[in-house]
Structures are given as C-alpha cells and as structure tokens.
Amino acid sequence: MSPFCSESAWLYLAVTAALGGMLLWRSQSPGQWKRQAGCLAGLWGGACLLGLSLLCSLLLLSLCCLLLLYVSSSDQELLPVDQKAVLVTGADSGFGHALAKQLDKLGFTVFAGVLDGEGPGAEELKKTCSERLSVLQMDITKAEQIRDAHTKVTEKTQDKGLWALVNNAGVLHFPIDGELLPMTSYRKCMAVNFFGAVEVTKVFLPLLRKSKGRLVNVSSMGGKVPMEMIAAYCPTKAAVTMFSSVLRLELSKWGVKVATVQPGGFQTNITGSRDSWDKMETEILDSFSKELQEDYGQDYVRKQKNLLQMMRDNSCPDITPVLRDIQHAISARNPSSFYAPGRMASLWIYFEAYSPTSVLDYVLKKCFGPKHMPRALRTAS
C-alpha cells in the first residue's frame, strides 16, 4: 500500500503538523519560519517515500524538530545594543529614513547617510532623533563624500569600529521597454544601486572587520524575478544579490556576517515624483529614432506614467516587515543570509527558481505585463 494512503502516514502527518506548529510558533525570526516549514515538509515527504516504519519516522521527526527548535532559539537570541554604531545609506526617505529613526529609538549610534543634507528628510531626522544620530551628507556616487563620511564615522566610533552597514540607497527609472530606455538610465541605476553600494562597502569594510559586525544589502525581489518595464533596475539588484553572496563567503573568515534583504512591493519614494516622471518621459521621447517612433509611438510612452501610479497604488504602505527584517539582520546572533519581506515575495522567488521558464514567463506576463501594446503591434492585430 502506498505510504500516502496508509493510516500510519496520516498519523505521521498529524504528528508532523503538531510538532511543526510548535516549531513555527516558537520561530518569531523573520526569514526563518518559511525555511523551517520547508524542512519539515521535505522531511515528512522523504520519510514517506522511503517507506520508513511509523516508529522510525516519528523518532526521526522528533529529533529533527528538536534540532530545529535549538537552531531557532539560537536565531532568536538578540545581541545587546550597547551603543553599537550603524550606518544607513539612503536615509532621506523610505526604508532608510524609517530605519534610522527606529534604530535610534532602540539605542544604536546611527549614522544616516543622505543625498541632500539640507533636505526635508535630513532636517526631520535632526529634529526628531536623539543626539546619538548623525546626519551625513553622502551621495554614494561621489567618492569624496564617501571618504568624508568614513572620516566622521571613524572619529566618532574610535576603537569600537562600525557594527553594521546597511546599503539601502537606490533609484528606479521610468517603466518602459528596455529598448526605449536611454543609456543614461542604465548608467544611473548601475551607478547608484550597484557601484555605489560596492564602493561604500569597500571603504567601510575595515571598520566592520574590526567589530566583526554585519553587512546588510537591500536588494529587491526584482533581483531574482524578471519583470517587464524595469530592464535597468532588475539587473542592478541581481548584481547586488550576487555581490552579497560572494562577500558572505569571503567575510566569514573575519567573523563578519552578510545578509541580503529582497523586499517585494512597498510604498516608498523610489518611484519619484510627477515632475521626475515628466522629465524622464521627455528624455525618452527626445531620444526616439524614426524607426522607434513608427514601431512604438509616443502615446505608448505617455501611457506608461499610469503604470508608475499603479505601482505606487498597489504597493504595501506598511514598511514594518522590511524594518523588522533589517533589524533582525543587524541584531540577531545568527541572522539569516536572505530575507524576503512583503506579500508573496518569497513565493515569487521560489517560483522563479523552480518553475519551468515557459510557465514562469506566462505567469509573469499575466501578472505584471503591460496592458497596452506598441503602435505597430496594435495596427497588425
């Protein structure tokens, strides 16, 4: 009789559910519970397929659950704040701004790197946060500003070093076909999202090695899941994800832990303002060749502004899951290597990794594909 049809298998499943439920209830660590659920599901399925006896299966399951509970308890242990110093880039708004405030409330010494040291985001941090928070003028595409920030951080931390670096700064571009994006958009996204993060990391790594601290890189679900209309953004986040994975291996010998955060869709200022949309739209239309004009049409570009608004409206306004995961990566004794906060973010990443390409492409087109077609294709149909 098939192990999936036997009474023993059903009993085994019930015990798995009970022990697994206890394990998941104990696991408050973001980024951990999905992995543990997968381990339990795989364990049950493997035991059934191997045809182990009920007693052996239950014994194996119990031992593994105890092991996972031990690991989970270790993962939940948070290190004391003890005025640890954290540098957060892109703190003008969005994740970086909220994270700087939260870490300040928890007692961390916070260095908030901002693009505009006199802007509203910087001014709000100065007014609302404690004296432990320092606002640093830090355009991460300018090497001299990065070096100046390093000098200030070194002076304040002295022999303690920097406990954590959170590479959060990032930019998006006008959502349009990759063929239509001007090279300036590709270069800007790569300069900020990847090369900026790399240069900041290289400059501050000696301070992280001194404290045996944490490197936290904010990537994106788009770094794993290909999505139409953001051909410049997704590759930069894929590069950040791989950069983090390589450094995770290299820095382990120094005691520095590396975490990658891959959020789904959240409402931040990364989409820009309507003025910036108009500016990007004009730049795209000005670069139109005669052939692109005939095939796509200017109305196709203008309608893409609706997609920007749709992206903003459909994104989650509550960024708490992202802040919770980053805080865990900074504070947990054993942080995860990867976090995927956001609605279905983990599901999409797993789906991309394991589904056939044809199925993936079909689903992505249905879920994220544009609703209108270029002029030449509309005419042909």
Distance CA(184)–CA(336), nearest Å, equals 35
Which tokens belong to 287?
């670069």
Cα separation values, 207 from 66, 140, 211, 213, 280, Å: 37, 18, 7, 9, 38
Residues 168 and 140: beta-carbon distance below 8 Å: no
Known catalytic residues are 233
In the block, which residue shows the tokens 């009789």?
A: 1
Q: What share of the chain is helix, strand, coil (3-state, %, to 5)?
A: 60, 10, 30
Distance CA(8)–CA(105), nearest Å, equals 52
Q: Which of 375, 358, 229 shows the shortest CA–CA distance to 291? A: 375
| Identity of the residue numbered 53 | S
Query: CB neighbours of 7 closer than 8 A, spacing ≥ 6?
Result: none
Neighbours of 326 (CB within 10 A): 31
Distance CA(61)–CA(57), nearest Å, equals 6
Which tokens belong to 296?
């796509």
Distance CA(220)–CA(265), nearest Å, equals 9
Residues 270 and 319: beta-carbon distance below 8 Å: no
